[in-house]
Amino acid sequence: MASPEITLEAVASVTQIPKADWDACANPSAGKDAAESYNPFIAYDFFHSLETSKSASPRAGWSARHLVAKQGDKIVGIVPCYLKSHSQGEYVFDHGWADAYERAGGRYYPKLQAAVPFTPATGRRLLVRGGENHKTVSAALANGLIGLCGVMEASSVHVTFAPKDEAELLVKHGYLLRTDRQFHFENQNYATFDDFLATLASRHRKAIRRERRDALANGITIHHLTGDDITEDAWDAFFAFYMETGSRKWGRPYLNRTFFSLVGETMRDRVLLVMAKRNGRWIAGAINFIGSDTLFGRNWGAIEHHPFLHFEVCYYQAIDFAIARGLRCVEAGAQGEHKIDRGYLPKTTYSAHFLADPALRRAVAQYLEQERSYVAHAVRELTDAGPFRKALPPDEGCA
């Protein structure tokens, strides 16, 4: 008996999709305890926290249009997707495209963004339920996004921080491929942090030891909080750090206080707060999310500034935690060539873009061809400049 035809619809909130169906598509191999192949950022609870807190909301310029594929009454695929009125909070910058198109008389906004808001971390975007025909459902979702672009009268579709194989599939359906780079730590089965240090050239090894020592020189202690250890008081302190540092760096932090309480309630065992304390009070911290084999570093902030404390809290403590937990990778977020000297090597990231206007598409395609060449060269060059005594395999990534 033939399978029912795949039908597509867009919904305006994650709450319109049952949690069990979303997670069966997002993390289909995770099992009951979510211990295998689990990505926290594509889980229902993460999107629910973003949207319920109104961090990602129409007022903020993020109007949910999650694309849902069904066979009969069964949800077989989902794309987390938003109709955007700006290009903020995406970390794959298309401001130049927008400016050029609008100077030429076009209308770039609204656009469709298939992404996790405010989260520059690689993960699947074409979410297919386990046991389904992955190729067929993925193709329906890829084409469905283009159809949704037309229905919404959007200029474009942007699928950002997708895995390489997913980005390449989208290219086969008419999207343009874009690359960029991040810096990740790869755990080479180290037993201790000292095992990791032993793989570095002497000057890098000495520099890291000095930085770790100096970071704690003023009586600072470091604490790992996860699960029930993360109290509302700890969230209050962390949010103060986030707001202080975010306001200085970006002008307007994206996440509100309610968001952190919600992820603390629903994802507490997947959250790691690395907090620094001095003279009995919290002074700095970083939030991380724990996947099945990856620690994802996200936001950092401080109300006191001490030499190298940022490196200790964000980078070295993340490596310590990953080694202790047997995690394969630390993804430390966007940007930052300074991470190379601290054991984080460049890895290519991928996105796919559909542009409805043929003229804009031709111009962007030429630009992306040159950009991909530049990124590939930069990844090779930065890898060669890494701190390791013996070169690691280039650009294999952690995903």
Q: Which residues contact 313 (CB under 8 A, 6 or more apart)?
A: 215, 222, 274, 275, 276, 284, 285, 286, 300
The least confident of 92-101, 329-338, 350-359 is 329-338
pLDDT of residue 30 exceeding 90, the answer is: no
pLDDT, tens digit (0-9, with 9 covering 90-100), for 230-254: 999 999 999 999 999 876 665 578 9
Per the CB < 8 A criterion, the answer to whether 353 and 168 are in contact is: no
Tokens of 103: 């100077």
Residue of 222, 323, 309, 311 whose CA lies nearest to 273: 222
Q: In terms of CATH architecture, what is 188-327?
A: 3-Layer(aba) Sandwich (3.40)
pLDDT, residue 245, reads 82
Determine the 3-state secondary structure of 180 from DSSP. Answer: strand
Mean pLDDT over 349-375 rounds to 98
Do 393 and 195 touch, CB atoms closer than 8 A?
no
Domain ranges of the chain: 6-182+347-384, 188-327
- List, for residues 49-83, the tens digit of each pLDDT value: 999 999 999 999 999 999 999 999 999 999 999 99
The amino acid present at 128, given as its one-letter code, is V
19's tokens: 């949690």
Residues 201, 198: Cα–Cα separation, whole Å: 8
Residue 37's pLDDT is 81
Between helix 134-151 and helix 164-172 the angle, nearest 10°, is 60
Q: How far is the C-alpha of 315 from the C-alpha of 377, rounded, in Å?
A: 25
For 257-306, the pLDDT digits (tens) are 999 999 999 999 999 999 999 999 999 999 999 999 999 999 999 999 99
pLDDT tens, position by position, 210-229 = 999 999 999 999 999 999 99
Percent of the chain with pLDDT over 90: 89
Evaluate whether 6-182+347-384 and 188-327 have a shared fold: yes
What pLDDT score does 372 carry? 98
Average of per-residue pLDDT across 311-316: 97
Mean pLDDT across the chain: 94
Q: Work out the average pLDDT over 109-127.
A: 98
pLDDT band at 394 (very low <50, low <70, confident <90, very high): low
DSSP 5: P
- Range in 22-36, 104-118, 119-133, 326-340 with the lowest mean pLDDT: 22-36
Helices 257-266, 44-52: inter-axial angle, 10-degree rounding: 150
CA 95/CA 18 separation, integer angstroms? 35
pLDDT at residue 23 is higher than 80: yes
Task: Place 1 in a pLDDT band, splitting at 50, 70 and 90.
Answer: very low
pLDDT given at position 34:
43
From 90, 89, 17, select the one nearest 47 (Cα to Cα): 17
Higher-confidence residue: 394 or 113? 113
Percentage, residues of the chain above pLDDT 70 = 94
Judging by DSSP bridges, how do beta strands 111-114 and 156-162 pair with one another?
A: parallel
The hierarchical CATH code for the domain 6-182+347-384 is: 3.40.630.30
Q: How crowded is the C-beta side of 151, counted as CA atoms within 13 Å?
A: 12
Which residues are 223's β-sheet partners? 275
pLDDT at 33: 45
Q: Tell me the backbone φ, ψ of residue 341, rounded to 5 degrees.
A: -65, -15
The H-assigned helical ranges of the chain are: 19-26, 44-52, 95-103, 134-151, 164-172, 193-197, 202-215, 232-250, 257-266, 309-311, 317-325, 358-384
